[in-house]
Amino acid sequence: MSETYDFLFKFLVIGSAGTGKSCLLHQFIENKFKQDSNHTIGVEFGSRVVNVGGKTVKLQIWDTAGQERFRSVTRSYYRGAAGALLVYDITSRETYNTLTNWLADARTLASPNIVIILCGNKKDLDADREVTFLEASRFAQENELMFLETSALTGENVEEAFLKCARTILNKIDSGELDPERMGSGIQYGDTSLRQLRQPRATTTQNKQQCNC
């Protein structure tokens, strides 16, 4: 009846207006480029179940409006996010310059453990490029962000961006750096008991022991 997954991660997509945040999300969920995309009003929502390193993870993605007038509304969605895609437009230095503001917002409002990946979108418009790959990757390194250049039009690196972010979160959970049980972690356990129980009995009892604690 309900879809099964091991984890649910809450993701944010943030960045200035017109950088293609909604198109990235659309490409990720529908595998299509979103023509005639309008400005997002407030915050939109999308979800997809992906397979990362043998685990099924449901990504619950909140796509925020980039426009300044929605800023206070979108800020109220930051808390309890496990991961974020910070998006700028490689053909617009303006959107690159505001990254520090967005980053500051994310660092102060979201959980300190939030995993952020920087996405230089509109990679397909290389002719109009205003921000070089090198420059952005240096910025990413300085701020401890992962970095990818993406194209919501062609779909290049879109899936990778989301998966990379999810994978990092999973690694942090495995290493104990992230505690999914903590409130506001943006991570929830899913209902995978069905699948686990179909495995041989030995593992079932093991799981049961885990559950009982």
Partner 1 sequence: MFLFSVPFNNRSVSELLLNSKFDVNYAFGRVKRSLLHIAANCGSVECLVLLLKRGANPNYQDISGCTPLHLAARNGQKKCMAKLLEYNADVNICNNEGLTAIHWLAVNGRTELLHDLVQHVSNVDVEDAMGQTALHVACQNGHKTTVLCLLDSGADINRPNVSGATPLYFACSHGQRDTAQILLSRGAKYLADKSGITPLDLCVQGGYGETCEILIQHHGRLFQTLIQMTQNEDIKENMLRQVLEHVSQQSDSHYHKILISLAEVATTNGHKLLSLSSSYEAQMKSLLRIVRIFCHVFRLGPSSPNNGNDMGYNGNKTPRSQVFKPLELLWHSLDEWLVLIFKELERNRKNPSSSTSSTEIASLLLKQRESDHSDTTSKLSSLLDHQIVMEEAYADGDDVISMTANRLSAVIQAFYMCCSCQMPQGMTSPRFIEFVCKHDEVLKCFVTRNPKIIFDHFHFLLECPELMSRFMHIIKGQPFKDRSEWFYEHLLAGQPNSDMVHRPVNESDILLIHRDSIFRSSCEMVSKSTNEKLKQGIAVRFHGEEGMGQGVVREWFDILSNEIINPDYALFTQSADGTTFQPNSNSSVNPDHLNYFQFAGHILGLALYHRQLVNIYFTRSFYKHILGIPVNYQDVSSIDPEYAKNLQWILDNDISDLGLELSFSVETDVFGAMEEVPLKPGGSSILVTQDNKEEYVQLVTELRMTRAIQPQINAFLQGFHTFIPPSLIQLFDEYELELLLSGMPEIDVEDWCRNTEYTGGYDPQDPVIQVGASSFCFMAAVKN
DSSP β-bridge partners for residue 187: 9
CB 33 within 8 A of CB 163: no
Whether the Cβ atoms of residue 90 and residue 39 lie closer than 8 Å to each other: no
Report the site for partner 1 in 121-180 (rule: CB under 8 A): none
Output 171 or 192, the one with its CB closest to partner 1: 192
Asked if 198 touches partner 1 (CB under 8 A), the answer is yes
Give the one residue of 35, 36, 54, 72 binding partner 1; rule: CB under 8 A.
72
Among 37, 60, 113, 171, binds partner 1 (CB under 8 A): 60
Rounded to a whole number of angstroms, the minimum distance from the CB of residue 24 to partner 1 is 15
Crossing angle (nearest 10°) for helices 21-30 and 158-174 = 80
- Considering beta carbons, is residue 79 or 138 the nearer one to partner 1? 79
Which of residues 9, 11, 62, 102 is near partner 1 by CB under 8 A?
Answer: 62
Is 76 a binder of partner 1 (CB under 8 A)? yes
Q: Around Cβ 135, how many Cβ atoms within 10 Å?
A: 13
Residue 205 binds to partner 1 (criterion: CB under 8 A): yes
Q: Tell which positions 34-53 bind partner 1, by CB under 8 A.
A: 39, 41-45
Q: Is 47 helix (H, G, I), strand (E, B) or coil?
A: strand
What's the per-residue H, E or C state across 73-142?
HHHCCCCCCCEEEEEEECCCHHHHHCHHHHHHHHHHHCCCCCEEEEEEECCCCHHHCCCCHHHHHHHHHH
Q: What's the closest the beta carbon of residue 77 comes to partner 1, in angstroms?
A: 7
